[in-house]
Chain A
């Protein structure tokens, strides 16, 4: 995917997140499409789209909704970084690694987000934050999984052809896009 396409994807995710997705709330918890996009882009693409665009749109999110500017950007960056690190050890073509990665990255994002805000002195307790976490992490993971299934078609050509090496480079026994 070209940079322009990735920017457009994140811009669309941003607007849909703020407007339409609140209608998809389950038990008051709505999924985080922006985070899911950052996670999947960081996992699938060699270029650091997920990291850079996740941080940029996280910053926009903070400017629009946050009490303090920069918290969402940092938490999304942490999640994207985690996925970039996981990519070194997991096969990013497969669904299960993507699922596990998305689960961990979503949990990390939420922990960093709450941790920074707690340091800044918000009144919310850990118990209150933990209450929706199960639903939220499950929701984000499913969304990331759906995005992974859609986007990997464009990333990995001839996925089922084990002899096709096009588009990959091998470093230290690992295959990278």
Chain B
């Protein structure tokens, strides 16, 4: 007791360390459970963070915009939109009506209708982001009142982002697919019968293997989610294959995949909610 009285700071530090390690242990045991304290903090912080995030968004997400690149960034955005319009016009001009019908029929057969047509979605802004530079975890300004739920799938214009880790009334915490060891079922866009499984490789990318060793997957192939065995529904772009290897030990055809989404600068996302009932075609 005397030692404690004489070394108050040291005692406080030791107690704090012990309490924090205990907290880590408890949070590990209850991972994924609803955490009332976390929810309360999330609610309070999301209210504070939203206006700041809006200010951050106003400056275009880059300090350089404050200096002299503001006009360039805006012009770049306009030009990108124009390029997309022109590419669409070009595609439509090249494809005949018959081709388009055929493509539509194929996409229906393969269940590749757009995610936004298949699912109710809610758009959300990223209002805060983890600064650990290890994980890609961020908070969005949509929560249970918008229909968001735990494990809801999050995408952006480029492709798969991840899933909702925890959710509050007006906010949700999202973890990226590369930060987890959860497995993601995929299929090769070029040849949808080629299936496989991916997971985060611990290097900021994804690694996986083909279920069929004879699948002739090659570098540059685009991968989409297969909807098999997991929380991710079919048809979301995951990324492209950057390396194909043959593992003699397993033996499996392994692949390395570069994610389509750039996780370091996410501003807007869509959360997939309930699947819309599909209209049954007249026989």
Interface residues of A (CB under 8 A from B): 15-25, 28-34, 48, 51, 55, 59-61, 63-74, 77, 81, 113-114, 116-117, 120, 122-125, 127-129, 132, 136
Contact = CB atoms under 8 A, between A and B. Distances in A.
Contacts of A23: 56, 59-63
A124 B136 CA distance: 12
A77 B16 CA distance: 9
A44 B23 CA distance: 30
Nearest to A28: B264
A64 B265 contact: no
Contacts of A69: 23-24, 26-27, 35, 38
B134 A114 contact: yes
A32 B35 CA distance: 26
Nearest to B205: A128
Nearest to A74: B20
Interface residues of B, number: 55
Given A64-B42, A74-B20, A15 B49 contact: yes
Given A65-B137, A70-B24, 10 more contacts: A16-B52, A17-B131, A23-B61, A59-B23, A66-B130, A68-B28, A70-B27, A113-B134, A122-B202, A124-B203
A22 B137 contact: no
Q: Kindly name the residue among A15, A23, A30 whose own CB sees the greatest number of chain B CB atoms within 10 A.
A: A23
Interface in B22-73: 23-24, 26-28, 31, 35, 37-38, 41-42, 45, 48-49, 52-53, 55-56, 59-63
Chain A CB count within 10 A is highest, among B9, B31, B129, for: B129
Contacts of B278: none
The 6 closest A-B pairs by CB, nearest first: A19-B52, A28-B264, A18-B128, A70-B23, A65-B130, A69-B27
17 contacts: A19-B56, A20-B55, A22-B56, A22-B129, A25-B265, A32-B133, A59-B23, A65-B132, A65-B135, A67-B31, A69-B24, A71-B24, A77-B17, A81-B13, A113-B134, A122-B134, A122-B202
Nearest to A78: B17
Interface in B170-217: 173, 175, 179-181, 199-204
